[in-house]
Amino acid sequence: MQTDIDLEALRSYVGDHLAGSRAGTEVAERCADGSDGDLEGYLRTFLEELAQESATLRTTLDRLEVSPPLSRQAVTKAGAVVNVVRELLPGGYHALNSLRDLEALCVGVWGKRLLWSTLIRAASVDERIRDLPYGELADQAERQERDLLAWRDRAAAEALRIPAAAPSSG
C-alpha cells in the first residue's frame, strides 16, 4: 500500500469541498427560509449537520497545515452574490425554486459521500487525520441523500403538478 500521500492535492481537494459546503449552506438557508412546516424543520437540522461537517473539514485542513486559498474564498463569495440577485427577482421564493434548491442539495450531498469515502482512505495512511469521524459523516451523508431525494420528489410533484414518485421499497 502506498503511503506517500500527495498532500498538496489532498489539501486542494478538501479546500474545494469546504468551498462547496459554504455554497451548500447558502442554498439550504435560502430553501429553509422559503419553506415552512416539516421541510423547514428538516433543513434547519440539515444546516446544523452542515456546520459540523464544515468544522471537520476545517480541522482536516488545520491538521494538514493549510488555509483555504483565496480563489476558493472568491468562488464562495461569487455564489453569495448570485443568491442575492436571485432573491431580488420578482415573484419571491416559490415551488420551482424549492425544487431547484433541493436538487442542488442532492447533488452536493452525493459529492460529500464521495469526499468522505476518499478521506476514510486518506486517514488510513495519515495519522494526523485518522481520528476524525469520516465514517460517521459518510453514514450521515447517505441518510441525508435519501431524505433530500424524498423532499425533492415532493417538490417536483408540487412545482410541476405531476404525480408524486412511488415510495421506494428499500
From the number of C-beta atoms within 10 Å of its C-beta (0-12, 13-18, 19+), residue 12 rates as middle
Range of the domain at 141: 7-160
Q: Is 121 within a domain?
A: yes
Examine the pLDDT at 44 and tell me if it is beyond 60. Answer: yes
Instruction: State the amino acid at position 51 in one-letter form.
Output: A
72-112, pLDDT tens digit by residue?
455 555 555 555 655 555 567 889 999 999 999 999 999 99
User: How far is CA 97 from each of CA 47, 70, 93, 152, rounded to the nearest angstrom?
Assistant: 18, 30, 6, 11
Residue 96 lies in a domain: yes
Domain count, the chain: 1
Does 120 have pLDDT greater than 50? yes
- pLDDT of 3 reads 67
- Which band of pLDDT confidence, cut at 50, 70 and 90, is reported for residue 28? very high
Residue 21 lies in a domain: yes
Any domain includes 137 = yes
pTM (two decimals):
0.84
How much of the chain, in percent, has pLDDT values that exceed 90?
Answer: 75
170 is a domain residue: no
Mean pLDDT of the chain: 89
CATH number at residue 102: 1.20.1260.10
Q: Is residue 168 a part of any domain in this protein?
A: no
In a domain, 169, yes or no: no
Question: Is 165 within the bounds of a domain?
Answer: no
Whether residue 57 contacts residue 106, with contact meaning beta carbons closer than 8 Å, is answered with: no
Is the pLDDT at 57 greater than 80? The verdict is: yes
